[in-house]
Amino acid sequence: MQKFFFRVIAMRGHEHKYSVSRKVLQWIAGFVFLLVFSATLLVFGFYRITAPGPSTEMLGRVIATAAMPDGSSVPAIVERMKIMARSEGPVAVELTGKIKVSADSRDLRNLSEGEMERFLYCQLGRKLYEKGPDIFLAAVDDPGVKSTLGELRETVYFFISDFHRTVKMLFLVFAVLSAVFFFIMFLMGHRFGRLAVPGVIMIAATLPALVILFSFGDFFAELLTVIPGGVKSGAGMFFSGDRAALLEPMVAMVRSVYLVVCCAGIFLVTAAGAGKIYADRKKLNVEHAGE
């Protein structure tokens, strides 16, 4: 009897050590998951804003500002395109000898003024997005355009297809790493901790970024006071004028991702808490019934 008693004590001690080891491993995996998952969200944000849609429009605005003929403007060009779209022939607009936009009138006929303006910007920026600034500038014959775009070259690199493909590969790597550490953390968890711990980590990974993203205008203004050159730097000039209006939609795209992840984390923590309360009450009711 005495041997059996000590054997039970030893088994419980072993189980306790095993439980502690699982918790330690879970939190170690959780900490690594927090770092990797934070990087994954950051890279995914860059992946979204460097996609062809937002990037070509941003680059098109840069080109339109640099190559706009004297006495002309984007609204005037859009009006001219609307008139040409009423005919059956092609719509062609030339800013300089090498920078032009052409389209089938049937594709533009039913567009609103805002949609046609966005179409103009996207068409202007498409070649720069696909080829990159070096090849694009080599084909431009206007020295003024070359000079203006040359000053913005370093910032332009963040909005071209090569950078987007690089970001995509990084995102895939970080996504796989996040999945691996999430799986380890889930296996090492116990009962409702398998929901609560990932939820807490998801909230921790998103809240600081959401604070910055919801006050991005003030944050970017402060950033320009710190970086060399300030508003006259490449980034300052790149996001000046009408291009600054595109910052908020881009930030909103990233912000929506962080909001969804944060809400998912809150849901997991809430579900774990509710499940724990329900399980404890059920256990208490069973114990009372047994008495």
Q: What is the rounded average pLDDT for all residues in the chain?
A: 76
Q: Would you state the pLDDT for residue 291?
A: 58
This prediction's pTM? 0.72
Mind listing the pLDDT tens digit for each residue in 222-266? Answer: 544 444 444 444 444 555 555 556 666 777 788 888 999 999 999
229 vs 87, which has greater pLDDT? 87
pLDDT band at 62 (very low <50, low <70, confident <90, very high): confident
Determine which of 5-9, 24-28, 67-71, 215-219 has the lowest per-residue pLDDT on average.
Answer: 5-9
Q: Would you state the pLDDT for residue 238?
A: 55
pLDDT of residue 165 exceeding 80, the answer is yes
Q: Which two tokens stand for residue 240?
A: 């000046």
Q: Would you state the pLDDT for residue 18?
A: 46
279 vs 178, which has greater pLDDT? 178
pLDDT band at 91 (very low <50, low <70, confident <90, very high): confident
pLDDT of residue 142 exceeding 80, the answer is no
Using a pLDDT cut of 70, give the percent of the chain over it: 75
Q: Would you state the pLDDT for residue 218?
A: 52
pLDDT band at 171 (very low <50, low <70, confident <90, very high): very high
Mind listing the pLDDT tens digit for each residue in 178-214? Answer: 999 888 887 776 677 678 888 888 999 998 888 877 7
